[in-house]
Amino acid sequence: MDTTRRDFLTAAAATAGATTAPDLTYAQTRDHDHQDVPSDAALRVKSLESLLVEKGIVNSEALDALVDAYEHKIGPHNGARVVARAWIDPAYKQRLLANGTAAIAELGYGGSNGVDLRVLENTPTVHNLIVCTLCSCYIWAILGLPPIWYKSAPYRSRAVIDPRGVLREFGTVLPEDIEVRVWDSTAEQRYLVMPERPAGSEGLSEEALAALVTRNVMIGVAKVMPPQTGGRG
Ligand code: FE
């Protein structure tokens, strides 16, 4: 999966005429930063944070709480919980597809005011893919921060022009008779893909089901992997 994503990023960067190499290098070596110079973006963020704190506009604790929320509390595990609940509870699934915002709020998650959350169901004949062609609109409330590739110009344009090609680069090859629907997010309208429950998952608990649902699955660039049987030959 990582290899596929990196391949996609590399191709995306090449198409955009830029390179992600410096960022990747920095990310890989940040644990040894006693000699490294942080990236321009990191320095700008740090300077901005210092100034805002110094002028009393924000305080460090509030920033730490915000970062902690996005690192540990808000993230794709919340979206996975929504999907798993829908898989085991047909009435919830019905509510979720009818009114995503309200059904997601039932589990204690919410978007910003005025943002409509819509859940798109994958079926044996339809596969859904999410993009924001304009910028990076994303269902933050239950998926957390969007991945870098989601915000990249190549993904934003190619998801619309050649969705099957993009899916292929993520390792998702769909038969021609499956319709691919691409949904363009906006500031007011965000989407979540509800994948098909995989074969072999009948006896799994809600928690174990949620563990099968990844961020990429809920964006629509990946399919749910069947559960490991765990059997010994
Ligand atoms: Fe956007």
Per-position pLDDT tens, the chain of length 233 = 444 444 544 454 444 444 333 333 333 433 444 556 778 888 898 898 889 888 988 888 888 887 787 777 889 999 999 999 999 999 999 999 999 999 999 999 986 677 899 999 999 999 999 999 999 999 988 998 899 999 999 999 999 999 999 999 999 999 999 999 999 999 999 999 999 999 999 999 999 999 999 999 999 999 999 887 654 43
Asked if 80 contacts 210 with a C-beta cutoff of 8 angstroms, the reply is: yes
CA of 150 to the centre of ligand 1 (A): 10
CA of 191 to the centre of ligand 1 (A): 12
CA of 160 to the centre of ligand 1 (A): 14
What's 74-219's CATH class?
alpha beta
Clarify whether 132 is annotated catalytic: yes
| Structural domain boundaries in the chain | 74-219
CA of 156 to the centre of ligand 1 (A): 10
> What pLDDT shows up at residue 34?
52
Catalytic residue, chosen from 39, 136, 157, 201, is 136
CA of 200 to the centre of ligand 1 (A): 37
> What pLDDT shows up at residue 11?
52
CA of 129 to the centre of ligand 1 (A): 15
pTM for this prediction: 0.74
Asked if 96 contacts 195 with a C-beta cutoff of 8 angstroms, the reply is: no
Q: Which residues have CB atoms below 5 A from the ion given as ligand 1?
A: 132, 134-137
Clarify whether 137 is annotated catalytic: yes
